[in-house]
Amino acid sequence: MSDPNVDYAARARDQLGFSRWWQVIAAAVMMGLVSPYQYVWSSIEGPLADNLGISLPALGLVFTLFVIFQSGSQFPVGWWRDRRGPRELTLLAGVLAGGGYVGIAYATTVWQLYLLYSLGAIGVGIVYTVAVNTALKWFPDRRGLTTGVGTMAFAGGSALVVPYVRANATVSGYPSVLQNMGLLIGAGILVGALVLRDPPSDWLSDVDGVGDEEAEADGGTVATQFTWREMIGTWQFWLMYVMFVAMSGAGLMLTAKVVSFAQNLGLAELIATLSATLLPVAGGVGRLIMGDVSDRVKRERAMAVSFFLCGVGLVFVVLFAQWGQSYMFIAAVFVATFFWSPQYTLFPSVVGDYYGRQHSSANYALLYSGKMWGGIFGGAVAGWLVTATGWTTTFLVGGALAFVAAGGALALRPPTAESA
C-alpha cells in the first residue's frame, strides 16, 4: 500500500524531468491503438470468412488463438520488462501488432490468418503488459485510477473505429481498413516506445526497502515485494486466478458473440451495430470509474459489487433479447460490459497491493494468463455450447461465472508478510 506521507509525484518528476502522467498518457495511447484486435473482431470475421470461403464457426479458433497468445506472452514479457525496461519490447510490439493487421489484409488461406492474428496478439500482449505496469510502477498511490486510464483506452479506443469498420465490413472493403489500422498501430507504438521508461529501483527505497541490495542480502524489509514464486505460494493468488478465469470467460463470450447473438435472436442490424459499438465504450468508462472507486473504498468490495452486477447484466441481456426489447437489450449489454471490464483494472491493482511493485509486471502477467482459459470459453467452448444448447443457455452460463467471481472477491484478504 502507498504511504500518504510520501510525495510520489515530486519524486517521479525528479526522475523524469516532467510529470509522471505523461507516462500513463503514452501507455494509454498505445493501448487504444491495439484495442481493435479484441473489440473489432466480431465486425470483421464475416467478411474474412466470405473471402476465404469458410464458415463462421471455423473462424472461432482465431479469437481463441488471439486470447491465448495475447495473455500467454505476458509472463515472459513481464519478467523481461522488470529487468530490462519497456523500450526494446515496445519497439517489437509495434512491428508485430502493426504488421499483423497489414498482413491479414493479404491473407489468402485460413492458416495465414491464424498465424498473423497470433503474431499480432503477441504485440498486443507486450503493449498491455508494458502499459498496465507503467501505471503500477509510477503510481503506487493511485493504482486503481491509473490502471483504469490505460485499460479504459484498451476498451474504449476501438469505439472510434468500430463504425468505420462496420461501414466497410465487406469482402472488397476490409483489406484497406486493415492496412490503414495496421500502419497507424505500428507508427503510434513506435512513438510511444520513445517516451516510456521505468523508475529506478531505489526511487522509493526509504519507503519499502526496494533497491537496497545490502538490506535485501541481510534479510531486510522487503516482505511486501513478492516474487512470482512467492506469490504462487499464497492461496490468495489461486483464488484470484479462478476469479480471473471466470470473469474472462463471461466477458469474452459477450465480446466475441454479441453481434451473432443479436442477429440470431432476430434483432435488427442497427441493434447489432450499436451493441458492438457500445461494448468498448462501456468497458472503457467502467474501468476508469471502478478503478477510481477502488482507490477510495475497500478494493475487494469494489470487485464483488462489480462482478455481481456484471452477472445481473448478462441475465438481462438474455431476457431482453427473448422479449424483443431492442433498446433495453443494448442497455443490458452496456451494464454487463461496464461491470465486467473493470476486472482488468481491479486485478492488477490488487496484485500491486498484495505483492508489491518491484515484480509487478511478472506477477500480474502470471495472473493474466488466466485469460487464456477464459478465451477458450469465450471462443471455442461458447461456440460449442451455442450448437449444443442454444444461445440462451450459453449466455446464462456466462452470468453464472460472474456470480462465482463475485463470491470469491468476498473471501479475499491480503497475504501476511510471512507468506513471502
pLDDT digits (tens, 9 = 90+) for 240-290: 999 999 999 999 888 877 777 777 766 767 777 777 777 778 888 899 899
Angle between helices 326-340 and 269-296 (to 10 degrees): 30
Residue 247 in grid coordinates: 470473469
Q: Check: CB of residue 347 under 8 Å from CB of residue 222.
A: no
Residue 216 in grid coordinates: 535485501
Q: Could you tell me the pTM of the whole model?
A: 0.79
- CA 371 – CA 67 distance, rounded (Å): 7
Reported as a single tens digit per residue, the pLDDT across 356-388 is 888 888 999 999 899 888 878 887 788 888 888
Residue 88: Cβ within 10 Å count:
12
Q: Closest by alpha carbon to 343, among 376, 315, 394, 302?
A: 302
Measured CA to CA in angstroms, residue 325 lies from 229, 333, 350, 370, 371 at distances of 50, 12, 38, 34, 32
Reported as a single tens digit per residue, the pLDDT across 179-219 is 999 999 999 999 999 999 888 877 776 665 544 433 333 33
The model's confidence at residue 94, banded by pLDDT at 50, 70 and 90, is very high
Q: What is the mean pLDDT of residues 121-142?
A: 90
pLDDT of residue 215: 33
Q: Check: CB of residue 342 under 8 Å from CB of residue 287.
A: yes
